[in-house]
Amino acid sequence: MINKLDRIVEKYQSLEAELANPDIMKDMNRYKEVMQEHSHLSEVVSVYSEYKDVLSGIEDAQSMMEDETDPEMKEMAKEELSGLEEKKEILEKKLKKLLVPKDPLDGKNIIMEIRAGTGGDEAALFAADLYRMYTKFAEQNKWKIEIMDANEIGIGGFKEISFSISGKNVYGNLRYESGVHRVQRVPTTESGGRVHTSAVTVAVLPEAEETDIDIKNEDLKIDVFRSSGPGGQSVNTTDSAVRITHLPTGVVVTCQDEKSQIKNKAKALRVLRARLYEAEEAKKQSERAENRKNQVGSGDRSERIRTYNFPQNRVTDHRINLTLYKLEYVMQGDLSEIIESLKIAAGEQALKD
């Protein structure tokens, strides 16, 4: 780690020298690029400088403990050493986190798709519970949620629901939620009081800008039809629902949440763009990884990532062997501990890689 940090200091100093040269202003693109990299490295250099000061302080304190004959001075050195060792550990963790390469996708908004899997109505009810959980987490972070499409069942569940979440660093926080979420509880529909196991799949798609993915009109097959599901207010009395098929890939997106066909088409295109973008990014990551699978999770929707056990008030994330006995808080959107643990594990894996 020290060798890497020394190289970063050298790079930082060379960027400072480049910024001090007036000629850089002749190329504004280069100036902007250098400024951004300089800004990013400045925090690493600052923390590393503090870390080196702490190492120097530890060395001095150890020397004092060895050389000093006065018991009182020896005790002072011992106390100082203890505080410096603690500070060293904190700074090492911070440096490890700073050394993890930032993923350019982390700042993206997302489209999240939740689908009921095995378990019938109980799975659909849990899909609705997960939707509420993510909604509450989004509210805590002051993010904005917009439903793209929903397929409800009569008892308050969802066969599937897709929605966008926009705000600061959304994908960076929710990227590891993709996969199979398993629930173990006594369904409200179960009279015998037996615990059932059901499953719901979650997909987290970084939302693409129009410039990220080029979709040609001739590659699209667009069908309109009458909305299904709970009606009222003309939702299922006009041909407002839209189905878009992307012919080159076969990806199909349906949207029927809005009364307006135009709005449904716009939302469907956003979802389509996100799905195509995710597929493109997954392909790039696969090529970069050279068949190496990230231990935190591949993002594969078929991978079981978490179990929510209601009788034991327990939630377990299987990728990092994290178990918390506060399921009621997690279901109210208190996901911070799980998400931070996943991010730390991903960072440590990235450093190893």
For residue range 121-136, list pLDDT tens digits in order.
999 999 999 999 999 9
pLDDT tens per residue, range 199-239: 999 999 998 877 678 888 888 899 888 776 554 444 455 67
> Is residue 215 exposed (0-12), middle (13-18) or buried (19+ Cβ within 10 Å)?
middle
CA angle 91, 94, 98 (to 5 degrees): 135
Q: Where are the domains of the chain?
A: 2-99, 110-211+294-352, 217-285
Of the ranges 145-154, 262-271, 305-314, the best mean pLDDT one? 305-314
Q: Which long-range contacts (CB under 8 A, 24 or more apart) does 235-239 make?
A: 235/259
CATH of domain 2-99: 1.20.58
Backbone angles phi, psi at 234, to 5 degrees: 70, 5
Average pLDDT estimate for 282-311: 66
CATH fold for domain 217-285: Double Stranded RNA Binding Domain (3.30.160)
Tell me the CATH number of domain 110-211+294-352, given options 2.40.128.110, 2.60.120.260, 3.30.70.260, 3.30.70.1660. Answer: 3.30.70.1660
Give the chain's mean pLDDT: 85
Which one, of 59, 37, 49, lies nearest residue 91 by Cα? 49
149-155, Cβ contacts within 8 angstroms, sequence gap of 24 or more: 149/254, 149/255, 149/256, 149/257, 149/267, 149/268, 149/271, 150/229, 150/257, 151/228, 151/229, 152/229, 152/230, 153/121, 153/124, 154/230, 155/121, 155/124, 155/125, 155/189
Averaged pLDDT for residues 40-58: 91
